[in-house]
Amino acid sequence: MVTALAFGIACAGATTASAETSQTLEAVKKAGAVKCGANGQLAGFSTVDSAGKWTGLDVDFCRAVAAAVFGDASKAELVPMTSQQRFPAIQSGEIQLLTHTVTATLTREASVGMLFAKPLFYDGQAFMVKKSLNVTSAKELDGASVCVKPGTVTEQNIADFARANGIKLEPVVIEQQQQVVEAFLNDRCVVFTDDSTALASVRSEQGTPDDFVILPEVLSKEPLSPGVRADDPRWFMIVDWVREGLVAAEELGVTQANVDEMKKSQDPAVQRLLGISGDLGSLLGLGNDWMYNAIKSVGNYGDIYERNVGKTSPLKQERGLNEQWKKGGLMYANPLI
Amino acid sequence: MRSKTKVSAGNRLITVLVFGVVALALYPLFRWAVIDAVWGNLGPEACKETFGACWPVISEKGSLIIFGRYPAAELWRPALASALLLGTAIVTAMPRFWNKALLLAWIAAPLLFLTLMGGGILGLSSVPSSQWGGLPITIMLSVFGIGCAFPLGILLACGRLSSKPVIRWVATSYIEAVRGVPLITVLFMATFILPLLLPSGWNISAMVRAQVAIILFTAAYLAEVVRAGMQTVPKGQFEACEALGISRFETYVKVVLPQALSMVIAPTINTFVTVLKDTSLVAIVSISELLMTARQALADPVWRTHFIEVYVFIAVIYFVFCFAMGKWSKSLERAYIFSKGRE
Amino acid sequence: MTIQKIENIREVETTRTVGIWWNRRFRASIQQVIVILCLVAVVWFFASNAAVNIDRQKLNFGFDFLWREAGFGIGESLVAYSSQNSFAWAFVVGLANTVGVSLGALILTTVIGFAVGIGSLSMNTAVRRVCLTYVAMFRNVPLLLQLYLWYSIATGLLPAPAGAWNFLGIYVSRVGVYLPVVTFSPTPISALTSLAVAGAVSLGVWWFILQRNLSLMVVLSAAAIAAVAWIATMLVAGDAVIDLPVWQKFRFNGGMKFSPEFCALLLGLSVYTASFVAEIVRAGIVAVKKGQKEAAQALGLTSGQTMRYVVVPQAARVIIPPLTSQYLNLVKNSSLGVAIGYPDFVSIGNTTLNITGRAIECVAIMMAVYLALSLTISALMNIYNKKMALRTR
């Protein structure tokens, strides 16, 4: 056991950091990897195939942060976890970044002790039923059983929805993603509820996606945001600004494909973003080429979206709320100056 | 005389009835598992037509179930590592190999296991523990769990029987507290809470925490088994040892424990079997042991409907291990009881 | 007394000759002090780290959250619950569910376990083989795996609710088992008449029993007959109706519901634990010396009487202690319900943990409650054990 412990304990050593540097950043650099907690079973956001290869929007964001810190996206280490495990994991420092399609809420920031970066994905909770039921509105679902994952805002939303509409819904709470889907497919529940994109993800994985209908009611606002522990504001800044950088890159037309050419761009905003001028990266305690590395590895926000959940992906999601602000969406990057 | 033939006629009727019922129950099972089943290395389409078992799911997903997401090119490493650990355990199961060399083997085997699995030295590529999975993890959790819990359990049993009130009280409350709660809450404690109780920066992997939980949990149960054995050793033996000037430590190691343990062979090995079965619980805290990898295999939508085949497959693996341990317990017990001329 | 004196003299002697370090009592107290110090050090280490971590992360610590509104629904509960209730009440609901499924499983386990245990000693080879196979099969496969299998069968192989299997108004389908129930709405007159009928029936049965000097089992069946008579009278009078479950668009209405999670957990727990109980029962009966049975038969007792007055009381003394620990295991194992979505105590604790982020508090509550539950059961079984031991001596 002593040997097992010796293998297992990676002592990060003395943590005497001044207010200027991020403790978490130091620990991450020392360990040589950014550890991100992710779902691992949700196509489009984070899945892991049988060879252990991770893909998805959450995964790409984790890689972007790793690239910004190390200049190497492969330094992202993804840890699969259930929704139960994610908060204790971030509280304890087992992971440094939570990319687990977490909805940012007040209670979570205040009570769990986290800070959420700006959303990576604006979503809303919806209901999915089998087409054969001929249901067109969630309000017709009085008495239905609803499959739902535990410990999620989702669980509270259905209780609120039922109360507001004077109907009864019976939750069937099952922990593992795959198992809750199985229960729904097997008719254990009439309804499956989750964020609508997650529902689309489940639907896309079935052989016959047309057998399922996602009902039009949107129960809630679900800003799915990367989260970090509240005690390290400098680390929060890094995560938050990587997200801003990815959105800004799309606005400025810097893509994974053209990022090398764009280095020669005369646009001062592009120059600052890619670290040709200014010292944005070093202000965060990173290399000045932080965003260049991130974009080179995973692309800008639009690239990430299209690859994982967009029209070309199996999920086939419109940009909707996640479109750039200039095109009517909510993706608006604060200025990188 | 007459009543005897009457009994045997009734007996025969019951036999026929039982066989009838068993046959009625087994025939559909046999049809499903053998006659109507699809065999071989085929795709999921092959199973569309039949109501029988779809065994291709095992050949398709077998490697994922047994080895988890360990890199495909390196599968010989977990295979060899598990074989080493299992081999050591099997050799240990045979009393004729009990000697000093075995102790050395027990130091070497876990080290070799971890080296082979983790790599990073001797030209082996490094594989992080998050990619370990399947049967090797089950074997590791069980073997390390038993190996470390055993001495701890003996210590606790001695503590509970100690004449010193404080030591007795500490050991007793530990044993009773642990035996009073379900393993899953201990695993939650190790997974969710332990990191909060350690200085920040101590980063112990989830697997090691689960391992520690299994050890601490098992130790309490083993302690009770060992205590029961120790209580069968007559008081006179302690006094005799004391009169002969044998030290306390030697009294326990050379006189009391050998007798005590041979009295409780069956319950001890039962506890080992329980440990093996209990390792499946770490699946609930997302560690990829055998049951977890089986479920990961079932996540694939094309194979999803063949859950019975997959569950039966791993049930057989668990069964073989547990059943063998039960047989071992019987033979060990027989050997000891006969050699000592008891009963 | 004299031994104590010799001890004392020896102690004084050793102290005088080799110094206080070799004094036995002194060493004992030193050892105990060291143990206490270690214990304090470990507790202090964990507590201080927890305090630092909680403080650094600006977390709250305390049980005040228990009185806040839970806000989540619970699929099935034995006590009234709505999402507006407090977390504390949600815990109570979880506990009730745990106790409910454990009680059901305890009864089922005892029945199966005793049947299989006695069967495994049957004179009939076929019966014996079947019983022994049962034991070997179910005790050597992890319970969690069995639960997953039962649950997958309950939700994957049973018919969809619209085409549920129906025997006598009992509907079995993927959404659970629904039983018809009798609902009462008695008027004073019908209540009185039916009570009178039931009373008459039970008096009749009682007289019948007294005549033949029959046993407790018969008394119990008489009570059952009386109950059936009472219900029948109420039904005839129209003051009770049989509430049949009926499938509507999304669910069965009416009847009594057992969810697939409950059924899978109940069945899995019982079948698994019964394999252990069977072994215990078998060992207990084997432990009764053969001579005892022969002596009883020689005295002219029938085999039933031998079983009842000779074998069972003696076997019970061997059986009860290990049986207690199996019952305890069953209650603890019911916590695995969380894996298949049964809203037991651990499941509610988990959800609460996640909504509130109070990991330490929630796990502490779980452990404390299970500990209390275990201690209560073993105390009750101890009392029963003592009673049995006294009666047989």
Q: Which amino acid is at A42?
A: L
- Structural domains for chain B: 74-339 (1.10.3720.10)
Q: Has residue A16 got a pLDDT over 50?
A: no
Tens of pLDDT along chain C (393 residues) come to: 455 566 666 666 555 556 666 667 777 788 888 888 998 999 999 888 888 887 777 677 788 888 888 888 888 888 888 888 899 999 999 999 999 999 999 999 999 999 999 889 888 888 888 999 999 999 999 999 999 999 988 888 888 887 888 887 888 888 888 888 877 776 777 777 777 877 787 777 777 766 665 566 666 777 777 778 777 777 777 777 777 888 777 777 777 888 899 999 999 999 999 999 999 999 888 888 888 888 888 888 887 788 778 888 888 888 888 888 899 999 999 999 988 889 999 989 988 888 887 888 999 999 999 999 988 888 887 787 777 665 544
Strand C165-167 with C240-243, pairing = unpaired
Residues of A with Cβ-Cβ distance to B72 under 8 angstroms = 51
Asked if B64's CB is within 8 angstroms of A4's CB, the reply is no
* Residue A4 pLDDT class (50, 70, 90 cuts): very low
DSSP assignment of A10-28: EE-------SSS-HHHHHH
pLDDT score at C166 = 84
| Residue B263 neighbours by CB under 8 Å, 6+ apart | B228, B229, B232
CA dihedral defined by C189, C190, C195, C201, rounded to 10 degrees? Answer: 130
Q: Within an 8 Å CB–CB cutoff, is residue B173 touching chain C?
A: no
Query: Rounded to a whole number, what is the distance in Å from the CA of C334 to chain A's nearest CA?
Result: 16
**Two tokens, residue A301:** 């926000």
- The mean per-residue pLDDT over the stretch A194-206 comes to 86
Orientation of helix C312-333 relative to helix C260-287, angle to 10°: 150
Class of domain A125-220: alpha beta
Q: Contact, A106 vs A198, CB < 8 A?
A: no
C242: enclosing H helix or E strand:
strand C240-243
Rg (CA), chain B: 25
pLDDT score at C8 = 65
Q: Within an 8 Å CB–CB cutoff, is residue C338 touching chain A?
A: yes
Asked if A9's CB is within 8 angstroms of B203's CB, the reply is yes
Q: How far apart are CA B302 and CA B44, in angstroms?
A: 7
Residues B135-149: tens digit of each pLDDT = 999 999 999 999 899
A128: enclosing H helix or E strand:
strand A125-130
**Of B118, B158, B154, B156, which is closest to residue B136 (Cα–Cα)?**
B118
How many CB contacts within 8 angstroms connect chain A with chain C?
A: 126
Question: Residues 296-315, chain B: which have Cβ within 8 Å of A?
Answer: 296, 298-299, 301-302, 304
Nearest CA in chain C to A155: C72
Asked if C175's CB is within 8 angstroms of A170's CB, the reply is no
**Two tokens, residue B234:** 């007559």
Q: Within an 8 Å CB–CB cutoff, is residue B18 touching chain C?
A: yes
Residues of C with Cβ-Cβ distance to A111 under 8 angstroms = 59-60, 65, 356-358
Residues of B with Cβ-Cβ distance to C54 under 8 angstroms = 196
A170: enclosing H helix or E strand:
strand A170-173
pLDDT score at A8 = 39
Query: Rounded to a whole number, what is the distance in Å from the CA of B177 to chain C's nearest CA?
Result: 7
C172: enclosing H helix or E strand:
strand C170-173
Q: Can you name the residues that pair with C258 across neighbouring β-strands? A: C177
Considering only CB atoms, C250 lies closest to which of A88, A108, A141, namely A141
What does the domain layout of chain A look like in residue ranges?
Answer: 23-122+224-318, 125-220
CB neighbour burial string for A54-87, b if at least 16 within 10 angstroms, e if fewer: bbbbbbbbbbbbbbbbbbebebbbbbbbbbbbbb
Q: How far apart are CA C301 and CA C216, in angstroms?
A: 19
DSSP assignment of B31-42: IIIIIS-B-SS-
Q: How far apart are CA A25 and CA A13, in angstroms?
A: 14
Q: Is A56 left (phi over 0), alpha (psi -120 to 50) or beta?
A: left
Query: Rounded to a whole number, what is the distance in Å from the CA of A171 to chain C's nearest CA?
Result: 5
Q: Which amino acid is at C299?
A: L
CA dihedral defined by A136, A137, A142, A143, rounded to 10 degrees? Answer: 60
Q: Has residue A207 got a pLDDT over 50?
A: yes
Q: Within an 8 Å CB–CB cutoff, is residue A2 touching chain B?
A: no
Q: Do domains A23-122+224-318 and A125-220 have the same CATH topology?
A: yes
Q: Can you name the residues that pair with C184 across neighbouring β-strands? A: C240
State the alpha helices, DSSP H only, in chain C. 2-18, 24-56, 87-119, 125-139, 143-156, 188-212, 216-237, 260-287, 290-298, 303-305, 312-333, 345-356, 359-392
pLDDT score at B46 = 76
DSSP B200: T
**Two tokens, residue A231:** 């005690």
Q: How far apart are CA B56 and CA B294, in angstroms?
A: 14
Residues of A with Cβ-Cβ distance to C347 under 8 angstroms = 150, 173
Q: Which of B277, B289, B291 to mutate to test the interface with C (most CBs of C within 10 A)?
A: B277
- The mean per-residue pLDDT over the stretch B17-32 comes to 84
Q: How far apart are CA C319 and CA C277, in angstroms?
A: 9
Q: Which of B184, B247, B320 to mutate to test the interface with C (most CBs of C within 10 A)?
A: B184
**Of C55, A222, A93, A179, which is closest to residue B201 (Cα–Cα)?**
A93
CA dihedral defined by A268, A269, A274, A277, rounded to 10 degrees? Answer: 40
Distance, CA of C16 to chain centre: 59
Q: Within an 8 Å CB–CB cutoff, is residue B108 touching chain A?
A: no
Q: Which amino acid is at A170?
A: E
Residues B69-78: tens digit of each pLDDT = 888 888 888 8
Question: Residues 235-264, chain B: which have Cβ within 8 Å of A?
Answer: none
pLDDT score at A12 = 35
Query: Rounded to a whole number, what is the distance in Å from the CA of A337 to chain C's nearest CA?
Result: 30
* Residue A126 pLDDT class (50, 70, 90 cuts): very high
Q: Has residue A61 got a pLDDT over 90?
A: yes
**Two tokens, residue C96:** 């009730």
Q: Which amino acid is at A228?
A: V
- The mean per-residue pLDDT over the stretch B40-53 comes to 75
DSSP B54: B
**What is the second-level CATH architecture of the domain A23-122+224-318?**
3-Layer(aba) Sandwich (3.40)
Considering only CB atoms, A7 lies closest to which of B114, B194, B298, namely B114
The three-state secondary structure class of A194 is: strand
Q: How far apart are CA A254 and CA A299, in angstroms?
A: 8
Q: Is the ipTM of this complex over 0.95?
A: no
**Of C391, C353, C319, which is closest to residue C117 (Cα–Cα)?**
C319
The three-state secondary structure class of C83 is: coil
Q: Contact, B252 vs B309, CB < 8 A?
A: no
Q: Which amino acid is at B22?
A: V
